[in-house]
A and B are shown apart, each in its own frame.
Chain A
């Protein structure tokens, strides 16, 4: 028993030292940033992304750092951990570090308004990224339009179905701004294709849950023709259920996001299509815009009633799509 205890202790100590090593390394690079600004006037941008456990944002981060290296920008990076309070204090840290600009990808719209105002008071420009806030002054918004993407995915699916058929909808986190906007986009697409009937509208927040939900939808509505999923994980879960029920020849699934597993699934013919938001490009666009703003360029582009540097998205389809034609 003592031997085991010793072993487990050694394991945990090793683990802890490893972790501390990591975090102190990132800290030192963070403080190094502000030092170097004063010397060679390298631009420093504070970036906080809403949730790094989401693969989408892992790609975004990659894009941000790629572009920052190219433009010689120092990035002070923070993970919002899907927690508004955490993100608020991160923005406060950016303000006290006196970064040149803040890129904010807010977890939620309303609660982060105070963070933006604090940056406003300190005279630090703020760019919202991918999701926006409802108050305070922001220079511009950078990102793709969730409404447009919702409509694109819907139109792709409905066009494939020849404008008529029964579909099931699997929404994402209830109440999230992206969920609300996707619904708007889907409704736009549904208006254009009156022959499409939504027979089930459910929600799931993980691939596992989406699979269960899809199994149950299939039981209640065995005759559906297509599934419109609000994100890639839900699309993959739905596709898992459809393949398990051996109905992949009858029911097609579309997703949204362009995550690596979904793009693979499209290539393998498991998903009809997904809308690729190009997270890598979106991340790059954030830094490009930040540099533009800091160099004094006026952002005038407008979209959906706000200043917006729009990230283009594209529908990606594969063998399943080609089979029909």
Chain B
């Protein structure tokens, strides 16, 4: 991005190389990881396993789409894991009213929490980290109180199908993930909402001078985060055929990791939906591969940490 202003040809050459690395390093890294896993495990490349990976990343992937917007706008949403559990609970509690009502109620509950987050961040002028940390604790508490600490079983057959049925050879929840990521990509790179998100993340004061309605965009961003968390909650609940009040704990960190691996800067203004997609896939492939190889549990964590660091290093070379 900075290349434009440079005149020195040599520097430009050098930068275009590192630019290449930062642009395609992630994809190259993913391919290397993929090939290594394929060599190490004979079952890695089977159709069943590849579909497994996609199914396992769907929940984190959907959350990460919302998180991408928050991070590019120089914000963050720590409440997504808690909202996920809450929405799942709402869906299970309203399942008697029919699948459509339960689904809408669950999504609406996520939208509501996201909207409240956005209001406190903009009208209350509190940093997103603090607001969403507070709402994470609050929502967790409400979820535990409402559920009494017990997991509740999902029985509605239509809702159960969402997590277990296939559309042709592809699980429905993978289709949902694909639609979400495509819509996320369109929203981020093809609409004014996406451009404003980048603008706010790059410089909030400049955006204000340019006449962007910052508060409105931010409220929309956190509402979107809440909605995505709720959708992930619906899918996870359906997959597990029950809503657990402690589901989703730590999911915010998984999403942040995926978005960061995808090349987004936590300082804002940078990031791409395609990057997030590969970030999510890299985390998924590592998790899947280490279990396939039956790697010791302690070593798995060490390897995961190292791979995340390396991926971010390659992606962020500037």
Binding site for B on A (CB under 8 A): 4-5, 8, 11-12, 15, 19, 22, 52-55, 57-58, 171, 174, 199-203, 206-208, 211-213, 215-217, 219-220, 233, 236-237, 240, 244, 260-261, 264
Binding site for A on B (CB under 8 A): 41, 43, 46, 48-49, 52, 55-56, 59, 112, 115-116, 119, 123, 141-142, 144-145, 148-151, 153, 164, 236, 239-242, 244-247, 249, 287-288, 291-294, 297-298
Show 29 A/B contacts (Cβ-Cβ < 8 Å), sorted by A: A19-B145, A55-B149, A55-B151, A57-B149, A58-B148, A58-B150, A174-B297, A174-B298, A200-B294, A201-B294, A202-B297, A206-B247, A207-B242, A207-B244, A207-B247, A208-B240, A211-B239, A212-B287, A215-B56, A216-B49, A219-B292, A220-B41, A220-B43, A220-B292, A220-B293, A237-B240, A240-B239, A244-B164, A264-B153
How many Å lie between the Cα of A174 and that of B300 in the bound state? 12
Check A53–B297 contact: CB distance below 8 A. Answer: no
Q: Closest chain A residue to B43 by CB distance?
A: A219
Please name 20 further chain A to chain B contacts, defined as beta carbons within 8 Å, in addition to the given A53-B149, A55-B150, A201-B294, sorted by A numbering.
A8-B112, A11-B116, A53-B245, A54-B246, A55-B149, A55-B151, A58-B148, A58-B149, A58-B150, A200-B294, A201-B297, A206-B244, A207-B151, A208-B236, A215-B55, A216-B287, A217-B291, A219-B52, A220-B291, A236-B242
Check A216–B288 contact: CB distance below 8 A. Answer: yes
| A170 vs chain B, min Cβ distance (A) | 10
How many Å lie between the Cα of A201 and that of B145 in the bound state? 35
| A315 vs chain B, min Cβ distance (A) | 22
Which B residues touch A58, using CB under 8 A?
Answer: 148-150
Q: Closest chain B residue to A260 by CB distance?
A: B150
How many Å lie between the Cα of A216 and that of B119 in the bound state? 42
Which A residues touch B241, using CB under 8 A?
Answer: 240
Which A residues touch B240, using CB under 8 A?
Answer: 207-208, 211, 237, 240
Q: Closest chain B residue to A237 by CB distance?
A: B240
Name which of A53, A174, A244 has the most chain B CB atoms within 10 A of its CB. A53
How many Å lie between the Cα of A22 and that of B164 in the bound state? 39
Option from A19, A54, A211, A264 in Cβ contact (under 8 Å) with B141: A19
Which B residues touch A261, using CB under 8 A?
Answer: 151, 153, 242
Which A residues touch B43, using CB under 8 A?
Answer: 219-220
Which B residues touch A4, using CB under 8 A?
Answer: 115, 119
How many Å lie between the Cα of A237 and that of B56 in the bound state? 13
Check B297–A171 contact: CB distance below 8 A. Answer: yes
Which B residues touch A211, using CB under 8 A?
Answer: 239-240
Check A212–B56 contact: CB distance below 8 A. Answer: yes
Which B residues touch A174, using CB under 8 A?
Answer: 297-298
| A45 vs chain B, min Cβ distance (A) | 21
Which B residues touch A171, using CB under 8 A?
Answer: 297
| A252 vs chain B, min Cβ distance (A) | 19
Which B residues touch A212, using CB under 8 A?
Answer: 56, 287-288
Option from A5, A199, A202, A213 in Cβ contact (under 8 Å) with B119: A5
| A44 vs chain B, min Cβ distance (A) | 25
Q: Closest chain A residue to B55 by CB distance?
A: A215
Secondary structure type dominating chain A contacts: helix
Which B residues touch A236, using CB under 8 A?
Answer: 242
Which A residues touch B112, using CB under 8 A?
Answer: 8
Q: Closest chain B residue to A212 by CB distance?
A: B56
Check B236–A216 contact: CB distance below 8 A. Answer: no
How many Å lie between the Cα of A261 and that of B119 in the bound state? 39
| A166 vs chain B, min Cβ distance (A) | 12
Check A216–B292 contact: CB distance below 8 A. Answer: yes
Which A residues touch B149, using CB under 8 A?
Answer: 52-55, 57-58
Check A53–B153 contact: CB distance below 8 A. Answer: no
The 10 closest A-B pairs by CB, nearest first: A216-B291, A203-B297, A220-B292, A58-B149, A219-B49, A212-B56, A53-B246, A215-B52, A219-B43, A200-B294
How many Å lie between the Cα of A8 and that of B141 in the bound state? 18
**Given A55-B150, A261-B153, do A5 and B239 touch, yes or no (CB 8 Å)?**
no
Which B residues touch A19, using CB under 8 A?
Answer: 141, 145
Q: Closest chain A residue to B57 by CB distance?
A: A212
How many Å lie between the Cα of A76 and that of B307 in the bound state? 48
Check A220–B294 contact: CB distance below 8 A. Answer: yes
Which A residues touch B48, using CB under 8 A?
Answer: 219
| B281 vs chain A, min Cβ distance (A) | 15
Check A216–B246 contact: CB distance below 8 A. Answer: no
| B139 vs chain A, min Cβ distance (A) | 10
Q: Closest chain B residue to A244 by CB distance?
A: B164
How many Å lie between the Cα of A202 and that of B41 in the bound state? 17
Q: Closest chain B residue to A9 by CB distance?
A: B119
Which B residues touch A5, using CB under 8 A?
Answer: 119, 123
How many Å lie between the Cα of A212 and that of B288 in the bound state? 8
How many Å lie between the Cα of A211 and that of B241 in the bound state? 12
Which A residues touch B245, using CB under 8 A?
Answer: 53
Check B247–A216 contact: CB distance below 8 A. Answer: no
| A308 vs chain B, min Cβ distance (A) | 28
Q: Closest chain A residue to B149 by CB distance?
A: A58
How many Å lie between the Cα of A233 and that of B242 in the bound state? 11
Which B residues touch A244, using CB under 8 A?
Answer: 164
Q: Closest chain A residue to B298 by CB distance?
A: A174
Which B residues touch A233, using CB under 8 A?
Answer: 244
Check A8–B292 contact: CB distance below 8 A. Answer: no
| A199 vs chain B, min Cβ distance (A) | 8
How many Å lie between the Cα of A94 and that of B153 in the bound state? 37
Which B residues touch A15, using CB under 8 A?
Answer: 142
Which A residues touch B242, using CB under 8 A?
Answer: 207, 236, 261
Check B144–A53 contact: CB distance below 8 A. Answer: yes
| A255 vs chain B, min Cβ distance (A) | 14
Check B115–A8 contact: CB distance below 8 A. Answer: yes
| A83 vs chain B, min Cβ distance (A) | 13
